[in-house]
Amino acid sequence: MKSTSFLDRLNSWARNSVTLKLFIIGILILFLLIPAAMLSSLIYERENLRDGAIREVSEKWGLQQTLAGPVISVPYETARLNAEGKIITTTGYAHFLPDTVAFNGNMEPQKRYRGIYVVVLYNTKMKVSGDFGQLNAAALSVPEEDLHWEDALFTFGISDMKGVENSMEAILQDSTYNFGPGTVTKDLMESGASFPIDLSKNRDNLGFSFELDLNGSSDLFFAPFGKITSVNLQSPWSDPGFEGAFLPDTREVNENGFQAQWNVLQLNRSYPQQGQGSYMAGSGDNYDAYRQDRYYNSQARGQISAFGVRLLLPIDEYQKTMRSAKYASIFIIITFLTFFFIEVLNQKRLHPIQYLLVGTAIILFYVLLLSISEQINFNLSYLISCVIILVLVTFYAYFILRSQRLTMFVAGILAILYGFFYSLLQLQDYALLLGSLGLLLILSTIMYLTRNIDWYNLKTAAAAEDAEMRNDD
């Protein structure tokens, strides 16, 4: 009988040890999690390129629009004595909001393309009407005699003035005024249009109306500045998203478009009808976090209570690809377990390099899905990517396993996994329930198949043959 050296025994243990194989598989899984994590960065990068293309087109046409107002602003100058007996003069603006304001308009959407990216633009023809009741100067902390009514301003807020298509004329108390650019005071609105009015003689029951021809992109929002703010909006776009502080009271959405109506009361907001200076100024940080910088950076608390509509694209391929990539680690683990149990139960031996190649193919699926979905429909992209990787792994499994039965078993497992994860993408509300039940079924199957395996006395056929050959020698 020929004795074996230590190196021979170590080599035999390394080749046949199940514990070592599990350890190596674990290391490979951790290694493959690095490119799996990089998938998220790749998706974000492509999404940022898409957003950059959208911004580039939108900045030339008109950004997301928020309409606020109108507001009557009256300058004041008041004097008081300080503790040292000196006269301190304070200047500013007192602001009055309308009793009623109504927006009636139609949004005409259109699609523009920047490379492979789609940009949703719109033009809206808006009629704005309403009235200012009695301007309640007594509610101010500034004496009424310090108000310069003859220098009042009528201001309407528009977040992106580049979108204004035609000149704006307002009818106020049977008189016609032309809007000029700018808001003069930035207390309430960062940008907009305004004109001066003389209210020294008459400042009660000021009815107004004007029309607005405005370009914008994706979103149209309204700030509820009236005691009663009503909006009636319609469009042929069939995929609207109603967002902001208030949902429409009535809405109708079908394949021909949508129509929505809002009615918002002053009791629904957190600021009064009149005040001076930046009396409505609130936390711009809260507003930016809420709107995620999609609207102009205003400090007006009115923008936090803004409401409106977003013209949605039916499919966001990046969002679906990101959701799909979150399952990459589970996909790798289940695939590796499949090949491992084929080794154990069918006395096959696979090299770690073969595991690594299969894992790389799984990662490549998500790269294919991302690149193809930028060109065609996501569902078809998923099918094409799935078929490519399934054929690749199946052919490779046939050559390394040398068994048609085991190859078909691997192909079936992969097909089931791709179908299972696709169903999770479609069932957003029930994804967690279906996912947990699916994982429970997978774990139960593994436990059932391995219920009779003695892991302490497990030997592959190759190990048994090596032992028999040593005994013969």
Query: Cα–Cα distance between 41 and 321 in angstroms, integer?
Result: 12
Instruction: Taking residues 134-153, report their average pLDDT.
Output: 78
325, 301: one domain: no
pLDDT for res 302: 43
CB 414 within 8 A of CB 397: no
Q: Which of 262, 293, 311 is the last residue of a domain?
A: 311
209, 342: one domain: no
Which residues, in sequence order, are CB contacts of 397 under 8 Å at separation 6+? Answer: 358, 406, 407, 410, 411
Following CA atoms 17, 21, 27, 33 in sequence, which dihedral angle do they give, to the nearest 10 degrees? -170
Q: Which of 311, 333, 350 is the last residue of a domain?
A: 311
300, 327: one domain: no
- Which one has a higher pLDDT value, 71 or 313? 71
pLDDT band, residue 176 (cuts 50/70/90) = confident
Which of 103-107, 264-268, 340-344, 349-353: highest mean pLDDT?
103-107
State how beta strands 307-311 and 219-223 pair. Answer: antiparallel
pLDDT band, residue 401 (cuts 50/70/90) = confident
- Which one has a higher pLDDT value, 19 or 368? 368
What is the average pLDDT score of the chain?
Answer: 77
Residue-wise pLDDT for 454-470, tens only, equals 666 655 444 444 444 44
Residue-wise pLDDT for 239-263, tens only, equals 888 888 888 888 888 888 888 999 9
Query: Cα–Cα distance between 186 and 310 in angstroms, integer?
Result: 27
Q: Which of 290, 311, 332 is the last residue of a domain?
A: 311
From 135-149, 211-225, 288-302, the region with the lowest mean pLDDT: 288-302
Identify each DSSP E strand in 44-184 by its residue range. 65-81, 87-96, 100-114, 117-132, 152-158, 169-172, 175-178, 180-181
From 283-287, 392-396, 430-434, the region with the lowest mean pLDDT: 283-287
372, 402: one domain: yes
Q: Is residue 221 part of a domain?
A: yes
416, 400: one domain: yes
pLDDT for res 127: 92
148, 14: one domain: no
Domain count, the chain: 2
Q: Is residue 414's pLDDT more than 70?
A: yes
pLDDT band, residue 8 (cuts 50/70/90) = low
283, 256: one domain: yes
Q: How far is CA 125 from CA 25, 135, 188, 235, 258, in A?
A: 63, 30, 24, 11, 16
Q: Is residue 172 part of a domain?
A: yes
Instruction: Taking residues 430-456, report their average pLDDT.
Output: 75
Q: Is residue 113 part of a domain?
A: yes
pLDDT for res 473: 47
292-295 long-range contacts (CB < 8 A, ≥24 apart) are: 294/64, 294/218, 294/219, 295/64, 295/66, 295/159, 295/219, 295/221
Residue-wise pLDDT for 148-170, tens only, equals 888 888 889 888 888 888 888 88
Residue-wise pLDDT for 49-91, tens only, equals 777 777 777 777 878 888 887 888 888 877 776 666 677 777 7
Query: What six digits make up the tokens of 401?
Result: 């396993």
Q: Where are the alpha helices (DSSP H) in 326-430?
A: 328-346, 352-373, 378-401, 404-426
Best CA proximity match to 77, nearest among 149, 134, 161, 173: 149
- Which one has a higher pLDDT value, 237 or 103? 103
Q: Is residue 234 part of a domain?
A: yes
Q: Is residue 328 part of a domain?
A: yes
Helix or strand run (H / E) with residue 59: helix 18-61
User: Tokens 């009557």 map to which residue?
Assistant: 72
Domain span including residue 14: 6-48+317-472
Q: Is residue 290's pLDDT more than 50?
A: no
pLDDT for res 285: 32
pLDDT for res 339: 83
31, 109: one domain: no
Q: Is residue 55 part of a domain?
A: no
User: Tokens 């050959």 map to which residue?
Assistant: 469
Q: Is residue 317's pLDDT more than 80?
A: no
Residue-wise pLDDT for 197-239, tens only, equals 888 777 778 888 888 888 888 888 998 888 889 999 998 888 8
Give percent of the chain with pLDDT exceeding 90.
2
* Cis, bond preceding 70 (omega within 30 deg of 0): yes
CB 413 within 8 A of CB 340: no
193, 252: one domain: yes
pLDDT band, residue 2 (cuts 50/70/90) = low
Q: How far is CA 24 from CA 31, 47, 355, in A?
A: 10, 36, 10
3-state secondary structure of 212: strand
Q: What is the DSSP letter of 164?
A: B
Instruction: Taking residues 87-115, report their average pLDDT.
Output: 82
DSSP string, 268-335: GSSS-SEEESSTTB--HHHHHHHHTT-S----BHHHHT-EEEEE--S--HHHHHHHHHTTHHHHHHHH
Best CA proximity match to 74, nearest among 168, 159, 143: 143
Q: Is residue 53 part of a domain?
A: no
264, 397: one domain: no
pLDDT for res 103: 92
**Whole-prediction pTM value?**
0.68
Q: Is residue 54 part of a domain?
A: no
pLDDT for res 14: 57
CB environment 138-170: b (16+ within 10 A), e (fewer): eebebeeebbebebbbbbbbbbbeebbeeebeb
222, 93: one domain: yes
298, 407: one domain: no
